[in-house]
Amino acid sequence: MQWWKEGVIYQIYPRSFQDSNGDGIGDIPGIINRLPEIAALGVKAIWLSPVYRSPQIDNGYDVSDYRSIDPLFGTMEDMERLIAGAEKRGIRIIMDLVVNHTSDEHEWFRKSRRREEPYTDYYIWKPPGGRKKRPGAASGKNPPNNWTSFFMEDAWTFDEVRREYYLHLFHKKQPDLNYKNPLVLEEVQGILRFWLDKGVAGFRCDVINVLWKESLDDGKKSSMLTGLEHYKCREGNHDILRRLRKETLDPAGAFTVGETAMVDLAEAKLLSDEARRELDMVFYFDHLEVDRRFARFVPKKFRAAELLKRLAKWQQGLSWNAVYLENHDQSRIVSHYGCDAGAGQKDSPWERSAKILAALEFTLRGTPFIYQGQEMGMTNFDFTGFDQVKDIETHNFNRLLKKFHLPLWLRWRWLRLSSRDNARTPVQWSGRPGAGFTEGAGPPWRGSPWLGSPWLGINGNYRELNYETQRDDPGSVLSFYKRMIRLREQSETLKYGAFKPLLATGALLMYSREDDTPGGTGEAYVAAFNFSSRRVKLSGEGRVLLRGNVVISNLDKHGAYDLVPALEPWEALVVKAR
């Protein structure tokens, strides 16, 4: 029995989790102080977003030393205390492995740009492009090809020291490593061994499906990422993953979940197929883009039927799923697929829909991941303009939309929904100034420059929506998450049963989870969800399907259910059908 199939994994974004020294930035001692709350949730592991030394251009996803802790977050001793403290509570630590790129302040890059061996070819360097000016290149630039970055900029920057261009699929301060140089893979093996020796249980692997750049030829012009076809999920990438697994990860019994940008089902199957020994599971994005165009940036109408279609595709397409609804790059799910009206209020659309999403997550097949604050229904930020946003991706996309002359109101309407800062506002632990996140001296929100203010504004709804108001309330979102976690842990069918889509019309969707294994229990649960603020009548077929004893109700319904006529606004109902 693999522990990572049995239990739930909790993601912490350290800078927004708990500040312990009043500088307005979350840190590792803060996480240690909150281990009792994390243990009370009932999770089996913590995935820690990066705490390595970093210039913090991309909030730590730009690493300058993989073997040291950034002073912002604490010391290596703090990290060792966290690993030991978590282990005492039966909680494993999973580190964030960011090795598609480093920071440009990493020693390797500093030496590579000076052609100091053996680092000269640790990165992807090229002389300026062909003789003729490349069409579309910004003035004065002549990059080796036409690739664009995930952050909507050029993917090449000219280095004045080496007098060549270097590739960066993200920010220009995040140069891509060159995996065609075998020394790079050796360095990565060393990083894995360093942290496995510290006692971590595995890794969440950042953009782990774009490591191998097959060629540097021009890409087909694309609305999102020109050049993607040359580096996404290439055979060389699979070889790298198999080697890391065989030589380092399997001997240590380490767990891996890959974050796989733009992955499709066929690619995800190859990456997570147990027999291929590459990754244990992968994060895909399809189910979170039902109401979005251009990845997650341009909104469109949400349709439950589309959500069910995409859920079924991945639930039935992969042998095991990483089930998640939020992370540090995504908007808050209660504001996205739910309704955050009445945030913090009892029996509000916010409370019902936060619970409906918990019921969805914990009745899907796969390892559930909870992102910090999701368990209390934290909502998207309440910022009123770009001046309060810190995320470089949001600002870059805003600059791109400005080039297309989109008016400010439309740019803000789109980007306030998709900005990664929605998930990065400080966790709301209490209703006191600083929301129990920080006791810093500065004003308790909006991230003003004074020392001690939170690095990013605290959502103004912290007074009503916080951990303390929910901890002892059996009807709270937090208590509902705890119930879901326990229910799943106690049910082999909810953990391992087959997923079967049943029906979806308008805002209503239904599916079942069944133990249909030969000689199995034949147990089946039927789950029904109303993703709307209207009462939805059930069709004849729906009424017949939704029969049995209630096991989950976000409206506290109990007992036997037969021929349910309708679902209330934002109602989730799960019955044990047999």
Nearer to ligand TEU, 61 or 529 (CB): 61
CB of 105 to Ca ion, least distance (A): 21
- State the minimum distance, in angstroms, from the CB of residue 206 to ligand TEU: 5
Compute the distance between CA of residue 339 and CA of residue 422 in angstroms, rounded to an integer.
15
- Give the integer Cα–Cα distance in Å for 161 and 568: 65
For this structure, is 571 an active site residue?
no
Closest CA to 522 of 464, 442, 444, 578: 578
In angstroms, give the least distance from the CB of 261 to ligand TEU: 4
Residues 510, 513: Cα–Cα separation, whole Å: 10
Instruction: Please tell me the distance from the alpha carbon of residue 148 to that of residue 570, in angstroms, as a whole number.
Output: 41
What residue type is assigned to position 8 of the chain?
V
Q: Which does 429 bind (CB under 5 to 8 A by kind): Ca ion, ligand TEU, none?
A: none
The one segment of 12-20, 225-233, 301-309, 439-447 that binds Ca ion by CB under 5 A = 12-20
State the binding partner of 351 from ligand TEU, Ca ion, none, CB within 5 to 8 A by kind: none
Q: How many Å apart are CA 394 and CA 387, to the nearest integer?
A: 11
Is 206 catalytic? The answer is yes
Q: Does 375 contact ligand TEU by CB under 6 A?
A: no
Count of residues that bind ligand TEU according to CB under 6 A? 14
Measured between alpha carbons, how far is 161 from 184 in angstroms, rounded to an integer?
Answer: 22
Minimum CB distance to ligand TEU smaller for 332 or for 576: 332
Q: How far is the CB of 207 from ligand TEU (least distance, A)?
A: 5
170 binds ligand TEU (CB under 6 A): yes
Q: Is 98 in the site for ligand TEU (CB under 6 A)?
A: yes
Contact call for residue 57 and ligand TEU (CB under 6 A): no
User: Of 322, 421, 316, whose CA–CA distance to 369 is shortest?
Assistant: 322
Nearest to 531 by CA among 512, 551, 510, 546: 510
Residue 261 lies near ligand TEU (rule: CB under 6 A): yes
Q: Give the residue ranges of DSSP H helices in 202-348.
A: 235-244, 265-272, 304-317, 333-336
> What residues between 96 and 115 interact with Ca ion by CB under 5 A?
none
Site for Ca ion in 17-36 (CB under 5 A): 19, 21, 23, 25, 27
Question: Is there binding between residue 58 and ligand TEU (CB under 6 A)?
Answer: yes
| Using rule CB under 5 A, residue 70 touches Ca ion | no
* C-alpha dihedral, 241 to 242 to 245 to 250, nearest 10°: 160
- With tokens 């993989």, the residue in question is 66
Query: What's the CA gap between 417 and 407, in Å, rounded?
Result: 16
The contact mask relative to ligand TEU for 145-164 (x = CB under 6 A, - = no) is -----x--------------
Nearest to 94 by CA among 255, 241, 215, 290: 255
Query: In whole angstroms, what is the distance from residue 123 CA to residue 513 CA?
Result: 47
Taking the C-alpha atoms of residue 91 and residue 37, their distance in angstroms, rounded to an integer, is 12
Which one of residues 296, 336, 488, 495 is an interface residue with ligand TEU (CB under 6 A)? 296
Candidate list 159, 206, 361, 375, residue with the active-site label: 206
The catalytic residue positions are 206, 259
Contact set with ligand TEU (CB under 6 A)? 58, 61, 98, 150, 170, 206-207, 259, 261, 295-296, 328-329, 393
Using CB under 5 A as the criterion, which residues of the chain lie in contact with Ca ion when the complex forms? 19, 21, 23, 25, 27
